Amino acid sequence: MTSRIANTSDCVIHCSRLPEYRAPFGALATGSTVELNIDAYVTVDEIVLCYAYGLYGLSYNELRCHKNEKVPNRWSCRLRMPAEPGLLFYWFCIRSKDSDIEAIVDPQYHNLLYRKFDEGRTYLYYVASWEGKDGKGKFAFSAPQVGVFEEKYPHAFQITVYEEGFVTPDWMKGAVMYQIFPDRFFRGSDYSFAKMEETGNSRLERIFHEDWDEDVDIDGKPQTGYLACDFYGGTLMGIAEKTEYLQSLNVDVLYLNPICEARSNHRYDTADYMNVDPILGGKQGYKAFSSVMHDKGIRYIVDGVFSHTGADSRYFNKYGRYEEPGAYSAFAEGKDSRFASWYSFRRGENGAVEYDSWWGFPELPNVKEDDLSYREYILGDHGVVAGWLRGGASGIRLDVSDELPDSFLREMRSCVKKASRGDGLVLGEVWEEVTTKISYGNYRDFAFGRTHDTVMGYPFREALISFLRGETDAHTWCLTMEKYRENLPDQMYYCMMNLISSHDVPRAITELAGPPDPGSREDQKKIVLSKHMKSRGAALMKMAFAVQMLYPGCACTYYGDEIGMDGYRDPFNRRTYPWGKEASWQKDLLETFRALSGLRRQYGVLRCGDIRMILAESDDLIFERFLDDEGKDHFGTPCEGPKKILCILNRSDKIKLLVQMDESARVVAVEHIADIFSGTGDTKCVISSLEAPVNKVEVRPLSVCVYIIK
């Protein structure tokens, strides 16, 4: 609505990311205090801070600002944060006589102003603008709507209020993570095709690939149809036997898709939480894997699926595969089962057995997470989660975390911290902006220090992919990331799982350079990236890796992305790793990945150093990570090595970027020169150390330069 204001919005200013207007910056601990300032270069009677806070319900209040005696035209107030974690939304209401407010607003919009006739005054609101630099706000004719069921417009400024004392594992902050889909990574020395085939004796729907390079199945067996039940025989020992490769990628922690016994290859249909899938090597293979990871200094987290189980599981046991009666037969036949209370059953109109299932899939019956016997089984001192952590895992990734009750998640966090002596990680699958995530009619307790340590960074992925594809510009990317930084608690922000691919989305190179998703699996299977697509895609992947590795958070790479494996959605994003068959362009991409991930291993500034956006316009993105004058990071920890690392990225495929720097390696000017990307692999990721001043830096089209500034 800024366009409806006659005078520019600079006549009133509040920038939520600048310390002169809001201090301290960003999310705040419970009970802490924030100083809020707003400058008004117009005549007004009163400026009132309006705020609403809470989580499961919001309380609305007002606080009158006072004129600042030290700074002319400034109005100020001081606000203590609530004692309970949650959200605090705020905005300003400017109140004055009609003529004062009308002087700000274009006459043709005077009829939109809110008149308080009993006061003889007119109100004008100052609200958040997601397009505003440094969090600068704008005018609005009505107050923001912030309730769960309201439309959220106009926007309010936000302060995330987290539990005092909230800390996340230091090993996750700035880590390099590598995600592995176990069946498709590597067949270990314990692999046997005959043993794998034996598991199909009782599971006739299974398909076994003897040829590692054979494409994924999309049809299933004629009698069953597609059930994601084709297997290649990757094992946990296969992962362990590739530790030298993982170390060459500078991996700190592995994230494993589910490894519990299950019917399908993805194993999100858990059959037995207490048993490792025999195809992966069983319990003995897991113990050997865990021992190797410990010896090599590589942590790992496991995938926990606690909103549902498989219908073909020892708990539900719909098909009678397990000896002990399950919940299904307890309801259908009246048998006694210790799992009977875990699920919700009913009889249909025709008397058929019906039950709640995940998104309507009958093979994935929902569990009742509030059932205390289920909670004891999963979260008890001798339960599933404690067992995995004591067995060597460093944390749990929670599948569909936003579908689990907040009380279950709070108990989960307590269980993980107790079993790991405070060092374990709780990572949630939440796709949306985590601080204001709404589901089941409430803002959710995800980012306030009581449930998760961190979540999967899908907003990071979406913003980066969109920018590199040219759908948005650098300015939009910057605004998105700065909002991300402002709203997240520091402890969560520095260990956010920033990914560019996963098992649930198309491969990054396909998203960046491939044709649009054709829809059906049959059509997806037919598409092969052309030589030009691969060349362009590799260049864009290098830039994606650079941003991933240089931006704060945990940089997560989905196995094979480091060599540009392609594919659309499941199952094509879950193909086998092509060991020994990498093309030359893939080897080049791999070396770039190693160089960039190596920077994190080598320089503390990239782990927990602060970030500063220098330039974000059109195709040009320049930002830096830095330590303070004493060589300390964001958390006050002294770091060895350089105090600053500069990233200069040129997304254009038609323009060369020239960056002018002064003697202190500060960017002072940029210019552009026509230069067209040839598509012959001439793009670069330049990494160099600045021992002496450099006048100009040249960044070719679709290229990135990284400067380590001593």
Question: What rounded mean pLDDT belongs to the chain?
Answer: 95
Judged by DSSP in three states, 623 sits in strand
- CA atoms within 13 A of residue 281's CA, in its CB half-sphere: 23
What is 2-162's CATH number?
Answer: 2.60.40.10
Is 6 a residue whose pLDDT tops 50? no
The whole-number average pLDDT for the span 629-639 is 97
Model confidence at 395, pLDDT cuts 50, 70, 90, reads: very high
Is 7 a residue whose pLDDT tops 80? no
Distance between CA atoms of residues 567 and 571, nearest Å = 8
Which residue from 305, 488, 271, 270 is spatially nearest to 412, judged by alpha carbons? 305
In percent, the amount of the chain with pLDDT more than 90 equals: 91
Distance between CA atoms of residues 438 and 441, nearest Å = 7
Distance between CA atoms of residues 280 and 243, nearest Å = 17
Task: Kindly report, residue by residue over 337-373, the tens digit of the pLDDT.
Answer: 999 999 999 999 899 999 999 999 999 999 999 999 9
Determine the pLDDT at residue 1: 39
Task: Kindly report, residue by residue over 595-624, the tens digit of the pLDDT.
Answer: 999 999 999 999 999 999 999 999 999 999
Is 314 a residue whose pLDDT tops 60? yes
Determine the pLDDT at residue 10: 84
The whole-number average pLDDT for the span 312-317 is 98
Task: Kindly report, residue by residue over 530-583, the tens digit of the pLDDT.
Answer: 999 999 999 999 999 999 999 999 999 999 999 999 999 999 999 999 999 999
Model confidence at 677, pLDDT cuts 50, 70, 90, reads: confident
In percent, the amount of the chain with pLDDT more than 70 equals: 98
Max Cα–Cα distance, the chain, nearest Å: 87
Is 3 a residue whose pLDDT tops 50? no
Domains in the chain: boundaries: 2-162, 308-368, 603-709
Contacts of 66 (CB under 8 A, 6+ apart): 75, 76, 77
The whole-number average pLDDT for the span 665-692 is 82
**DSSP-assigned letters across all residues of 344-368:** -EEE-TTS-EEE-BGGG-TTSBBP-
Is 9 a residue whose pLDDT tops 80? no
Q: Note whether 549 and 607 are within 8 A (CB).
A: no
Q: List the structure tokens of 393.
A: 């895992």
Contacts of 297 (CB under 8 A, 6+ apart): none
Q: List the structure tokens of 108.
A: 């043709």
Task: Kindly report, residue by residue over 483-535, the tens digit of the pLDDT.
Answer: 999 999 999 999 999 999 999 999 999 999 999 999 999 999 999 999 999 99
Determine the pLDDT at residue 8: 55
Determine the pLDDT at residue 690: 73
* Angle formed by the axes of helices 584-602 and 531-550, nearest 10°: 0
Distance between CA atoms of residues 263 and 645, nearest Å = 48
Distance between CA atoms of residues 682 and 688, nearest Å = 18
Q: Give me the torsion for CA of 28, 88, 406, 169, rounded to 10°.
A: -20
Q: List the structure tokens of 152.
A: 């959220």
Helix (H) / strand (E) containing 267: none
Distance between CA atoms of residues 244 and 212, nearest Å = 21
Please give the C-alpha separations between residue 403 and each of 27, 47, 428, in angstroms, as whole numbers: 25, 41, 10
Q: Within a 10 A sphere around the Cβ of 465, how many other Cβ atoms? A: 20
CATH assignment of 603-709, given 1.10.3470, 3.30.70, 3.30.2010, 2.60.40?
2.60.40
Contacts of 128 (CB under 8 A, 6+ apart): 16, 91, 135, 137, 138, 144, 154, 155, 156, 157, 158
Pairing of β 138-140 and β 176-180: unpaired
Buried b (16+ CB within 10 A) or exposed e, 136-162: bbbbbbebbebeeeeeeebbbbbbbbb
Distance between CA atoms of residues 503 and 179, nearest Å = 9
Q: List the structure tokens of 707.
A: 């400067």
Is 113 a residue whose pLDDT tops 70? yes
Model confidence at 294, pLDDT cuts 50, 70, 90, reads: very high
Helix (H) / strand (E) containing 219: none
Is 83 a residue whose pLDDT tops 60? yes
Catalytic residues: 399, 429
Is 689 a residue whose pLDDT tops 70? yes
Please give the C-alpha separations between residue 102 and each of 4, 140, 482, in angstroms, as whole numbers: 12, 13, 33
Determine the pLDDT at residue 440: 93
Model confidence at 662, pLDDT cuts 50, 70, 90, reads: confident
Is 442 a residue whose pLDDT tops 90? yes
Task: Kindly report, residue by residue over 236-288, the tens digit of the pLDDT.
Answer: 999 999 999 999 999 999 999 999 999 999 999 999 999 999 999 999 999 99
Pairing of β 703-709 and β 644-650: antiparallel
Distance between CA atoms of residues 481 and 621, nearest Å = 12
First to last CA, the chain: 46
More confident residue, 693 or 449: 449
Judged by DSSP in three states, 274 sits in strand
Which residue from 607, 613, 599, 606 is spatially nearest to 481, judged by alpha carbons? 613
Q: Note whether 224 and 240 are within 8 A (CB).
A: no
Which residue from 652, 650, 654 is spatially nearest to 697, judged by alpha carbons? 650
Please check whether the two domains, 2-162 and 603-709, share a CATH topology. yes
Residue whose token pair is 């067995």: 391
